[in-house]
């Protein structure tokens, strides 16, 4: 099995038409399941006048109402406590509680049964296998597992593949680096922010070159960094390892992965998920490649608390090219480009924090950390970009390059502030580098929901 290219050679190479037939069949099953077992789902489908008999093609799915995170917040803490009536199984069958990280408001609770938990590890097995994890790997997970889903399912999937897993939870960064060195671990899973942070601590605090350690592959999740070429390059250079992107979410599952061919994008696991991309302005479903929109996603096999046409707010676009690895699962170009909440207009121009990150990380002499603050000066929008100069880098060698690249990439001007290396906040898990102060009242309102 270790020589096998695909985790599931049948499903990952299905011809498009057969794959779509499978998706339709699975969609009808999960829709009927939720329609029958969840009062929450039944009420929104009844209100839209739609029943399982109405779903005869993938086209019909577009008529089904979407589910927003706020709707899930609205039902939780009601019966059956604490999940509310989206729960499709008796409470005694629930085996695990998780919650969303709540970066944009009140967390959403998520119930999983043992069957769902097996499903989680299966989704993650596609991810790890496609990135070259095999039984010989010793995998280090520098992360404290808790009520959030990260990196529980990655842990169990690695075990399922036969890897040896080292849970590096209750350790500080320096101890984790020493453990990697001591055990010669070969692979690692973490957020891009933490991968860079660990490299920085190893190099600058401990005098250890991370590239001299035995890590040869890294799976990134939780943030878009591994899909941003300059951030990925920084991580690969620092660790002397291949870095792969992955995206998943508590209320969805592990829906995508970058394979070993590193196509500058991620495959959607279309055997287990149905992804639709919705135009941000018109609400139409985008079929063609090259047009950005927000992801509406269905987990085709998740049973306890189903995820059906969930409005993920992740901004993605289909790639026009198939991947050289041979998988028939479609690619999304550049991974998750951002959140529709974060992609905002400044001076009438669409601004994506990911585009700024790509520029900052592409410039030698700038540190890994940065911060973007959008506010108003009078009636005019202003973007402040705070960056750090690495020791020994004169500001004059950076200034014009940074300004020019930013303008070219984003069509906007910036007020750039330079700081000494080590001055900006460091993050252990996910970063909070983008602040839109114009939205302050909105985010306060969101927090109360
Ligand atoms: Zn591929």
DSSP assigned state of 328 = -
- Per DSSP, the residues of 113-177 read EHHHHHHHHHHHHHHHHHTT--TT-EEEE-S---SS-TTHHHHHHHHHHT-EEEE--SS-HHHHH
Q: What distance in angstroms lies between residue 267's CA and the mean position of ligand 1's atoms?
A: 7
Q: What distance in angstroms lies between residue 382's CA and the mean position of ligand 1's atoms?
A: 40
pLDDT on residue 102: 65
Both tokens of residue 32? 């009927």
Q: What distance in angstroms lies between residue 18's CA and the mean position of ligand 1's atoms?
A: 19
Q: What span, in angstroms and rounded, lies between the C-alpha atoms of 335 and 348?
A: 25
Q: What distance in angstroms lies between residue 287's CA and the mean position of ligand 1's atoms?
A: 20
CA atoms in the 13 A half-sphere facing the CB of 131 = 32
Q: What distance in angstroms lies between residue 60's CA and the mean position of ligand 1's atoms?
A: 29
Q: What distance in angstroms lies between residue 187's CA and the mean position of ligand 1's atoms?
A: 19
Q: What distance in angstroms lies between residue 322's CA and the mean position of ligand 1's atoms?
A: 8
Q: What distance in angstroms lies between residue 265's CA and the mean position of ligand 1's atoms?
A: 9
Q: What distance in angstroms lies between residue 216's CA and the mean position of ligand 1's atoms?
A: 19
DSSP assigned state of 262 = -
Q: What distance in angstroms lies between residue 8's CA and the mean position of ligand 1's atoms?
A: 13
Q: What distance in angstroms lies between residue 146's CA and the mean position of ligand 1's atoms?
A: 32
Q: What span, in angstroms and rounded, lies between the C-alpha atoms of 445 and 108?
A: 17
Q: What distance in angstroms lies between residue 256's CA and the mean position of ligand 1's atoms?
A: 11
Using one digit for the tens of pLDDT, what is the confidence trace for 260-276? 999 989 999 999 999 99
Q: What distance in angstroms lies between residue 325's CA and the mean position of ligand 1's atoms?
A: 4
User: Collapsing DSSP states into helix, strand and coil, what is residue 267?
Assistant: strand
Q: What distance in angstroms lies between residue 130's CA and the mean position of ligand 1's atoms?
A: 8
Cβ neighbours of 294 (radius 10 Å): 23
Q: What distance in angstroms lies between residue 15's CA and the mean position of ligand 1's atoms?
A: 15
Using one digit for the tens of pLDDT, what is the confidence trace for 83-130? 999 999 999 999 999 998 866 678 999 999 999 999 999 999 999 999
Average pLDDT of span 384-394: 95
Average pLDDT of span 239-244: 98
Of the candidates 427, 417, 256, the one whose C-alpha atom is nearest the C-alpha of residue 331 is 256
Q: What distance in angstroms lies between residue 255's CA and the mean position of ligand 1's atoms?
A: 14
Using one digit for the tens of pLDDT, what is the confidence trace for 397-449? 999 999 999 999 988 999 999 999 999 998 877 788 888 888 754 343 332 22
Angstrom distances, CA of residue 26 to CA of 58, 341, 381, 405: 11, 30, 47, 46
Both tokens of residue 116? 């769902």
Using one digit for the tens of pLDDT, what is the confidence trace for 287-329? 999 999 999 999 999 999 999 999 999 999 999 999 999 999 9
pTM, two decimals, is 0.90
């Amino acid at each position: 099995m270790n020589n096998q290219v695909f985790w599931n050679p049948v499903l990952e190479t299905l011809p498009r038409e057969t794959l779509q037939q499978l998706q339709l069949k699975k969609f009808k099953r999960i829709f009927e399941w939720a329609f029958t077992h969840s009062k929450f789902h039944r009420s929104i489908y009844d209100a839209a006048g739609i029943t399982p008999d109405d779903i005869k093609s993938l086209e019909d799915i577009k008529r089904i109402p979407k589910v927003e995170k706020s709707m899930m917040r609205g039902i939780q803490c009601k019966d059956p406590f604490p999940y509310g009536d989206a729960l499709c199984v008796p409470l005694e069958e629930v085996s695990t509680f998780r919650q969303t990280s709540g970066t944009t408001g009140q967390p959403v609770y998520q119930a999983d049964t043992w069957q769902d938990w097996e499903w989680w590890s299966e989704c993650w097995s596609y991810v790890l296998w496609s990135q070259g994890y095999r039984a010989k790997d010793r995998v280090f997970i520098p992360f404290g597992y808790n009520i959030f889903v990260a990196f529980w399912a990655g842990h169990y999937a690695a075990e399922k593949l036969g890897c040896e897993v080292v849970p590096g939870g209750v350790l500080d960064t320096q101890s984790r680096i020493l453990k990697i060195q001591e055990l010669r671990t070969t692979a690692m899973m973490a957020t891009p922010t933490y991968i860079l942070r660990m490299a920085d601590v190893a190099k600058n605090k401990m005098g250890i070159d991370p590239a001299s350690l035995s890590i040869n592959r890294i799976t990134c999740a939780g943030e878009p960094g591994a899909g941003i070429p300059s951030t990925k390059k920084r991580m690969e250079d620092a660790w002397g390892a291949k870095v792969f992107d992955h995206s998943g979410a508590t209320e969805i599952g592990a829906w995508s992965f970058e394979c070993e061919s590193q196509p500058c994008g991620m495959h959607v696991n279309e055997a287990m998920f149905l992804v639709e991309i919705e135009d941000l302005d018109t609400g139409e479903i985008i079929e063609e490649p090259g047009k950005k929109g927000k992801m509406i996603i269905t987990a085709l096999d998740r049973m306890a608390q189903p995820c059906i046409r969930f409005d993920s707010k992740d901004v993605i676009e289909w790639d026009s090219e198939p991947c050289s690895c041979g998988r028939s699962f479609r690619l999304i170009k550049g991974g998750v480009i951002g959140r529709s909440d974060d992609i905002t207009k400044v001076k009438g121009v669409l601004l994506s924090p990911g585009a700024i990150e790509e520029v900052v990380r592409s410039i030698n002499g700038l540190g890994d950390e940065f911060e973007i603050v959008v506010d108003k000066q009078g009636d005019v929008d202003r973007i402040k970009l705070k960056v750090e100069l690495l020791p020994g880098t004169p500001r004059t060698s950076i200034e014009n390059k940074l300004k020019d690249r930013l303008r070219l990439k984003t069509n906007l001007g910036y007020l750039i502030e330079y700081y000494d290396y080590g001055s900006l906040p460091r993050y252990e898990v996910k970063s909070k580098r983008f602040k839109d102060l114009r939205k302050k009242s909105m985010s306060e309102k969101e927090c109360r929901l």
